């Protein structure tokens, strides 16, 4: 009997369907050669050969699934970390996930979510830029009090260039002040499932009482990735800031994870202050599966993030190109 005939016979007689992704044609034929002893046995409806074949296939698939689940967790340097399956909320790796940490500029994820919720379609209105906003310390988008540009452009530039000035512009235009905007930020964070965080400003510069956790930040990131504008803004490598009163300016992301062109990379946010150390929230999507890794106070973040994501995809049985 030809190979394809044996595969069809197994499906008809056992009611089982093995796709090429789960079981190669070669494996089916090899198992079939051992299980089906003659064409007459199959044609007579004998269940012996096909039952044996099904058992061998189950063993094959079991070994494959077992191998995927037994992948070792890579070492990493983060003081606090979470690797999350964004589709299900399952935490695949965790270290000090509920420890209060300085979130630095990862805070801007909440700033963007709050602006999208409160301002909505009015993001196309021209932003007013105060002297306070323009005076913020680095990193900055570089806006001036005389600039004319839509609030949406400020928000997108904030995420790409990690602009502290842009974050204050967003807060002041949406809520009238940084203080009132921060109150809204905390409500939005709670909606995203972050119950152990407290935000006092829109940029993440160190302030007593401004904190989050690795798990909360993973929840916020997963929540945001389901919102199209958020998803688009956090995945940019370059962005052309469309000033209306001066020449547009190109800015590039501070996120070297995105720059690295890691397969499926689509976000999210970097952060650094002396108090927080080096932070990174990285996301990637492969075969419809999205993983998010949060690394707080990690001097090796650019290496640890792809290593943990590789582990997560292997755990899910998802391979690269």
Catalytic residues: 105, 108, 162
The tokens describing 60, both together, are: 């094959």
- Report the alpha-carbon distance of residue 317 to residue 244 in Å, rounded: 49
- Report the alpha-carbon distance of residue 86 to residue 275 in Å, rounded: 28
User: DSSP of 114-136, one letter per residue?
Assistant: HHHHHHGGGGGSBPP--HHHHTP
- Report the alpha-carbon distance of residue 206 to residue 212 in Å, rounded: 12
- Report the alpha-carbon distance of residue 200 to residue 74 in Å, rounded: 35
Bridge partner residues of 273 (DSSP): 277
Show Cβ contacts of residue 58 under 8 Å, excluding neighbours closer than 6 positions.
none
- Report the alpha-carbon distance of residue 103 to residue 153 in Å, rounded: 24
The tokens describing 269, both together, are: 């946010």
The tokens describing 202, both together, are: 């829109």
- Report the alpha-carbon distance of residue 50 to residue 13 in Å, rounded: 7
Find out whether 274 and 268 touch, Cβ atoms under 8 Å.
Answer: no
Find out whether 152 and 227 touch, Cβ atoms under 8 Å.
Answer: no
User: Where do the DSSP E strands lie in 34-192?
Assistant: 80-85, 91-95
User: DSSP of 194-257, one letter per residue?
Assistant: --S-B---SS----TT-BB-HHHHHHHHHHHTTSHHHHHHTT-SEEEE--SSS--EEEE-S-HH
């Amino acid at each position: 009997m030809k190979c394809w005939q044996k595969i069809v016979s197994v499906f008809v007689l056992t009611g089982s369907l093995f796709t090429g992704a789960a079981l190669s044609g070669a494996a089916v034929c090899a198992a079939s050669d051992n299980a089906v002893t003659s064409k007459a046995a199959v044609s007579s409806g004998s269940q012996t050969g096909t039952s044996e074949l099904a058992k061998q296939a189950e063993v094959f698939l079991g070994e494959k699934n077992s191998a995927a689940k037994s992948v070792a967790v890579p070492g990493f340097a983060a003081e606090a970390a979470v690797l999350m399956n964004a589709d299900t909320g399952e935490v695949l790796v965790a270290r000090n996930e509920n420890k209060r940490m300085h979130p630095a500029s990862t805070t801007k994820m909440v700033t963007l979510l709050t602006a999208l919720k409160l301002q909505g379609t009015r993001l196309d209105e021209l932003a007013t830029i105060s002297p306070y906003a323009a005076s913020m310390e680095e990193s900055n988008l570089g806006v001036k009090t005389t600039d004319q540009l839509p609030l949406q452009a400020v928000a997108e530039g904030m995420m790409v260039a990690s602009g502290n000035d842009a974050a204050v512009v967003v807060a002041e235009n949406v809520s009238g002040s940084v203080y009132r905007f921060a109150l809204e930020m905390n409500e939005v964070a709670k909606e995203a499932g972050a119950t152990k965080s407290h935000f006092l400003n829109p940029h993440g510069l160190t302030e007593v009482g401004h904190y989050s956790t690795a798990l909360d930040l993973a929840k916020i990131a997963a929540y945001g990735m389901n919102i199209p504008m958020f998803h688009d803004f956090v995945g940019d490598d370059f962005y052309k800031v469309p000033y209306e009163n001066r020449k547009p300016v190109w800015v590039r992301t501070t996120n070297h994870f995105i720059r690295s062109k890691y397969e499926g990379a689509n976000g999210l946010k970097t952060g650094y202050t002396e108090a927080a150390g080096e932070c990174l929230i990285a996301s990637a999507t492969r075969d419809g599966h999205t993983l998010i890794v949060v690394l707080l106070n990690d001097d090796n973040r650019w290496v640890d993030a792809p290593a943990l994501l590789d582990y997560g995809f292997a755990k899910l049985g998802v391979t690269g190109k």
